[in-house]
Amino acid sequence: MTELSILDLVRVTEATDARGALDNARDLAAQAENWGYRRFWVAEHHNMAGIASAATSVVLAHIAAGTRTIRVGAGGIMLPNHAPIIIAEQFGTLATLFPGRIDLGLGRAPGTDQLTVRALRRTLTDPDNFPRDVQELQAYFAPLQPGQRVQAVPAAGTNVPLWILGSSTYGAQLAAEFGLPYAFASHFAPDMLLPALQIYRARFKPSAQLARPHAMVGVNIIAADTDHAARRLATTQQMSFTNLFRGTRGLSQPPIDDIDSYWSPAEKAQAGNMLARTIVGSVDTVRAGLDALIAETGADELMIVSDIYDHRDRLRSFELIAAAAASIATVSLAA
């Protein structure tokens, strides 16, 4: 059975502040573990008023403290923004506080604009540092070696599992070479999904962390009691993408009745390309979409984004998605 996990954007909406967004994320994670979700991840984004997860490790501590069994992690930490030892210290601390529940997904992009990159006091002049930084992180999480003069306290020996994230074939190649699980960001960059998965599986080398390839596929799913209601809820995400193209990113906006009155034909086409694999609808529609996606990709796990304005509607969406997936599993077992 393909596992389900959640990527939460920790959205600040026009009706909530950052504290409300953080508490909503924690509440969703607590509900999600009761619905059978495997992981709950948040991502590092900077200089975005509508996303409250910039201090990613702190946000994860807040979420993990409000849950019992669900794995909590970063999807991801943008490693070029940080010295690897700092990330090892943060996630080693999380693993010490919440043993057996912490994941660390790693991205190569900065997750922000170039001006903010400079404010982070990091440079992106040598992208080839990323593989070396991943290996440095692995060393910090491994058991302490005799004579090791620099250690990340308390990371040594925690063996926090690493994931490689990507939206192109580069991450697939790196994850395969290092023998790490791979997560593809098809929830906003769907074009290279199938080639990336093929490369990852074909080139995978077993490692101490992972014996066989494990592929996670990111997907937007918005579920409601009817197809019409789900399509209306989906306009919040469509407006967010439109605002991204316009350079006017702000707070999450409530859904509207007519999205065509909001975007231009060019913006609609651009958003449609980025959201091409989005599944929107009732339980039956979501079930069919999940079934088709799993059959096409052979995904071991789906990382679901349900970018919905109202917290109650978002909870309902994830509940319905879990129900749709459970019905697929029931049919598969009966067959």
Domain boundaries, the chain: 1-160, 214-335
Q: What is the CATH number of domain 1-160?
A: 3.20.20.30
**Is residue 216 within 8 Å of residue 302, measured between CB atoms?**
yes
| C-alpha 65 chain-centroid distance | 20
**Is residue 221 within 8 Å of residue 321, measured between CB atoms?**
yes
DSSP string of 126-164, one letter each residue: -TTHHHHHHHHHHHHHSPPPTT-----TTTTT--PPEEE
**How much is the pLDDT for 332?**
53
> What's the sign of the alpha-carbon dihedral 288, 289, 291, 295?
positive
Q: Which residues pair with 279 in a beta bridge?
A: 221
**Is residue 132 within 8 Å of residue 177, measured between CB atoms?**
no
Arch. (CATH architecture) of 214-335:
Alpha-Beta Barrel (3.20)
**Is residue 32 within 8 Å of residue 319, measured between CB atoms?**
no
**Is residue 278 within 8 Å of residue 236, measured between CB atoms?**
no
Structure tokens of 105?
């997904």
Would you tell me how many other CB atoms lie within 10 Å of the CB of residue 65? 11
Encode 194-212: b = buried (16+ Cβ within 10 Å), e = exposed.
eebbebbeeebeeeebbee
* Per-position pLDDT tens, the chain of length 335: 899 999 999 999 999 999 999 999 999 999 999 999 999 999 999 999 999 999 999 999 999 999 999 999 999 999 988 999 999 999 999 999 999 999 999 999 766 677 777 777 655 556 578 999 999 999 999 999 999 999 999 999 999 999 999 999 999 999 999 999 999 999 999 999 999 999 999 999 999 999 999 999 999 999 999 999 999 999 999 999 999 999 998 999 999 999 999 999 999 999 999 999 999 999 999 999 999 999 999 999 999 999 999 999 999 999 999 999 998 866 555 55
**How much is the pLDDT for 227?**
98
Q: CA–CA separation, 64 vs 67, rounded Å?
A: 5
Q: CA–CA separation, 109 vs 122, rounded Å?
A: 12
Burial class (CB in 10 A: 0-12, 13-18, 19+), 7: buried
Encode 87-103: b = buried (16+ Cβ within 10 Å), e = exposed.
bbbbbbbbbeebeebbb
**Is residue 238 within 8 Å of residue 211, measured between CB atoms?**
no
Q: Residue 253's closest CA among 174, 310, 200?
A: 310
